[in-house]
A and B are shown apart, each in its own frame.
Chain A
Amino acid sequence: EPEVTQTPSHQVTQMGQEVILRCVPISNHLYFYWYRQILGQKVEFLVSFYNNEISEKSEIFDDQFSVERPDGSNFTLKIRSTKLEDSAMYFCARSGGDDQPQHFGDGTRLSIL
């Protein structure tokens, strides 16, 4: 059983539209991460989030992306003005501490048409 629940499992969106991917922790954790994996490629770090603030972000995480924890529970990744190359699996992960193992959710498959 995953330690975070991700919704939706599959999202199909027209290019240029905005998408919001959601991650719900099973228990109360402070450290969250978003990664993506383009089909056939390696898992890539996007952003880490600690205590309701971004702690690290990669070069991929540009102005098109944002994260927030709007209600203190759900953790969301917003992608504005989606592009074809945003098509990928997006994984949310959580850890019990900044150097602790990260556990991944089942992922959201994002398909941009």
Chain B
Amino acid sequence: QKEVEQNSGPLSVPEGAIASLNCTYSDRGSQSFFWYRQYSGKSPELIMFIYSNGDKEDGRFTAQLNKASQYVSLLIRDSQPSDSATYLCAVNGGAGSYQLTFGKGTKLSVIP
């Protein structure tokens, strides 16, 4: 059974601070890693994706991947109240399986 684990939070950070969200996964064969943002009652919205070990930056967002530790993280710099949402980590199955396995998500609250 493939598992993706996230701290459910809530994670509270002040406006302007860095928010750090973490995710671990069980399947060593996983090759692609995604972060989605989900506002309450809405659908998941793709924020970042990463395929290789290391860091990938896009604006205020940085995704970090460490396949040896089976660990993915998302950093949000200069956090804004509009970043308040649940952040979902998703991992593909690897070995020709492209279905996404999602974590339960981390709820982030950015305090003005």
Contact = CB atoms under 8 A, between A and B. Distances in A.
A104 B45 CA distance: 7
Contact of B44 (A45, A48, A91): A91
Given A101-B34, A103-B46, A106-B43, A48 B103 contact: no
A53 to B, nearest CB: 14
Contact of A2 (B34, B43, B93): B43
Interface string A13-44: 00000000000000000000101000001111
A35 B98 CA distance: 13
Interface residues of B, number: 23
A101 B99 CA distance: 11
Contacts of A35: 100
Contacts of B101: 45
Given A44-B102, A45-B99, A105 B43 contact: yes
A22 to B, nearest CB: 15
Interface string B58-83: 00000000000000000000000000
Contacts of A43: 44, 88, 90, 100, 102
B43 A107 contact: yes
A99 interface: yes
A56 B99 contact: yes
B43 A45 contact: no
Interface of B: 31-32, 34, 36, 42-46, 49, 88, 90, 92-93, 97-105
30 contacts: A33-B100, A41-B104, A42-B88, A42-B105, A43-B88, A43-B90, A43-B100, A43-B102, A44-B102, A45-B99, A55-B98, A56-B93, A56-B97, A56-B98, A91-B43, A98-B98, A99-B92, A99-B98, A101-B34, A101-B46, A102-B34, A102-B100, A103-B46, A104-B36, A104-B43, A104-B46, A105-B43, A106-B43, A107-B42, A107-B43
